[in-house]
Amino acid sequence: MANSLINPTASSTAAKAAMPMRYGRPDFQLADALTKVSPQAQAKAKASSQDFEAMFLNSMFSQMTAGIKGEGPFGDTKSTGVWRSMLTDQYSKNFAKAGGIGVSTEVYRTLILQQANRAG
C-alpha cells in the first residue's frame, strides 16, 4: 500500500506490462485471445512464427548474397556456396531470435487469433 501512495501508478504499471502492444497501443483483441489459448499452444505459435521469419530472412539473405563470387574463407570454389548457405541460415536464425523485422510478431498474432476463434 505504501508503494502505491508514493507511486500511484505502480499497480497499474504491472497490468500494462502484461498487455500486448501493437503499433505502440494496447492490443485488446490479442489480450482476449491469449486468455482462450493454452500456454503450450502459445509457445508453439511463438516458435512457429520465429521459424517462419527465419525462413523468410534466409530467403532474403540468400538473394542478397547470390551474386557475390570468390569471397569468404573458401575463395571461389564449390565450397563457397555451401559455406554461404550455412552462414545465411545462421544469420537468419539469429536475426529472427533477436526480434527480426516484425514478421514473426504479426504471424504470432494471427495464429493466436485463429486458435482463439476455433476455441470459441
Domain range for 34: 2-119
> What 3-state class would DSSP assign to 69?
coil
Q: What is the enclosing helix (H) or strand (E) of 22?
A: strand 21-22
Looking at every residue in the chain, the average pLDDT score rounds to 82
The gap between the terminal CA atoms of the chain, to the nearest Å, is 39
C-alpha closest to that of 32 among 107, 113, 93:
113
Total domain count for the chain? 1
pLDDT 10s digit of each residue in the chain, 120 long?
Answer: 444 444 444 444 444 447 999 888 999 999 999 999 999 999 999 999 999 999 999 999 989 887 777 655 666 777 777 888 888 999 999 998 898 899 999 999 999 999 999 987
Tell me: the pLDDT tens digits for 73-91?
A: 666 777 777 888 888 999 9
**Are the beta carbons of 113 and 29 closer than 8 angstroms?**
yes
